[in-house]
Amino acid sequence: MSNVHVVSHPLVQHKLTLMRDKTVSTKGFRQLLNEIGMLLAYEVTRDLPIELIEVETPLAKTMQPTIAGKKLVFAPILRAGTGFLDGMLNLVPSARVAHVGLYRDPQTLEAVEYYFKAPTDVAERLVIVMDPMLATGNSAIAALDRLKRRGVRDMRFVCLLAAPEGVERLTNAHPDVEIWTAAIDEKLNDHGYIVPGLGDAGDRMFGTK
């Protein structure tokens, strides 16, 4: 799957293994997600274009690299996507933020929108959409659809865990959007949960179950 980048960095893999453990505390889970967010931000920005600009050091004028091209928007899918946000903003503090409020209907597994707020110039930016879980793909597809309706043309999707079904559906629905994930797990269960997975990311982050 050429659209998909599995981030195999040992730090990411180690932290993900810790997060899967059902005995990890809410505090620990949130902290790990934040740390992995930072590492995934590093990976998803790895190929950003650079250009040379002139800088004057105390010793000489010199041409040195700086990030060129579109500015960034981070777009967490509420709620669980916000778990990545602080870590990502630590690396790119000047990024703007778009909030995409979606919940997955537990019966139909359809994504239901309840909030959307994006920077006015979002269409001119590179948008990194983030959500720890890519299960059926319904939420990710709905978020990308919504941002495309706002005119966004350049997007990347970052998650922690994906199910093969979600990767396939997202890739078919949005072949122009590349995916970064720390792992692709075995399957979805009958309730649309990723197996072995890590359970319900939002509930584990916020202690709501």
Ligand X SMILES: O=P(O)(O)OC[C@H]1O[C@H](OP(=O)(O)OP(=O)(O)O)[C@H](O)[C@@H]1O
Smallest distance from the beta carbon of 137 to ligand X, in angstroms? 5
Contacts of residues 13-22 at CB distance under 8 Å and 24 or more positions apart, as own/partner, are: 13/182, 13/183, 15/39, 16/160, 16/161, 16/182, 16/183, 19/160, 19/198, 20/196, 20/197, 20/198, 22/199
Extract the tokens encoding 179. 């995916």
User: Using CB under 6 A, which of 34, 138, 171, 181 touches ligand X?
Assistant: 138
HSE at residue 38, side-chain half, CA atoms within 13 A, is: 12
Smallest distance from the beta carbon of 170 to ligand X, in angstroms? 8
Q: Which of 113, 200 has the CB closer to ligand URA?
A: 200
**192 part of the interface to ligand X, by CB under 6 A:** yes
Establish whether 120 is a catalytic residue: no
- CA nearest neighbour of 40 among 93, 92, 97: 92
Q: Which of 119, 192 has the CB closer to ligand URA?
A: 192
Catalytic site residue from 104, 146, 156, 204 = 104
Residue 193 binding result from ligand URA, ligand X, Mg ion, none, given CB thresholds of 5 to 8 Å by partner type: ligand URA
**200 part of the interface to ligand URA, by CB under 6 A:** yes
State the residue number with the nearest CB to ligand X.
202
Q: Is 38 flagged in the annotation as binding?
A: no
**116 part of the interface to ligand URA, by CB under 6 A:** no
Q: Is 52 helix (H, G, I), strand (E, B) or coil?
A: strand
CB atoms within 10 A of CB 33: 26
Q: Is 150 flagged in the annotation as binding?
A: no
Q: Is 190 flagged in the annotation as binding?
A: no
DSSP code for 200 = -
Residues forming the active site: 104, 108, 200, 203
